[in-house]
Amino acid sequence: MANTQAIDGVLVDGQLTVETKDVTNPTSPLQMTTFTTTAMKYSDNPLRPGFFISCFKDKGLSSERTLTLAFTTDAVPRFTGYTEAFTTKTETEPYSFDIIDYTGKIETMEITRDKRRYNVIEFEILAKRSDNNETRKLTGKGHIFITNLSMAL
């Protein structure tokens, strides 16, 4: 009898539609581009239970935006990070914002033991740069679908 080995993995699909405003000057907010995420990345950290999903718009381009959600075992899913890209003469760098306020509703639907859908009913994020006053307000909705896979080698 042959000894078969398997490799475990995750398939992630979904999209978020996000409206962004620059609210650095609260009396005159600047409407920015509304975008729909076009790529998602799954990651985990052996030192923290759970996993993270990073949702991208224009991955690798100078207009890249990233929203990160944490799915921890002790809490409901929540947004934990937001970055925009800025371009120097030689490369594109992340321009990170700290989330200072978050409200939202994310419903978890377990389809099978290995398949889950997260319906992001609504969210509102206030994010600020730690080194200056630049502030963004993000609102949106969408869904994320995750399937745990095991493939024989």
Under a CB-based contact definition with an 8 Å cutoff, are residues 31 and 102 in contact? no
**Pair of tokens at residue 109:** 């639907």
Under a CB-based contact definition with an 8 Å cutoff, are residues 55 and 71 in contact? no
pLDDT (tens digit per residue) in 25-45: 878 888 888 999 989 999 987
Q: Which long-range contacts (CB under 8 A, 24 or more apart) does 51-55 make?
A: 51/10, 52/80, 53/12, 53/144, 53/146, 55/14, 55/15, 55/16, 55/144
**Pair of tokens at residue 3:** 């000894």
Please tell me the predicted confidence (pLDDT) of residue 128.
95
Q: What is the mean pLDDT of each run of 10 residues along the chain (153 residues)?
A: 72 93 86 89 84 88 88 83 86 88 93 93 94 92 91 74
Whole-angstrom distance, CA of residue 52 vs CA of residue 70:
5
Vertex 53: Cα angle to 51 and 58 (nearest 5): 160
**Pair of tokens at residue 17:** 């539609």
pLDDT (tens digit per residue) in 124-135: 999 999 888 899
Alpha carbon 20 to its chain centroid, in Å, reads 14
Total-model pTM:
0.84
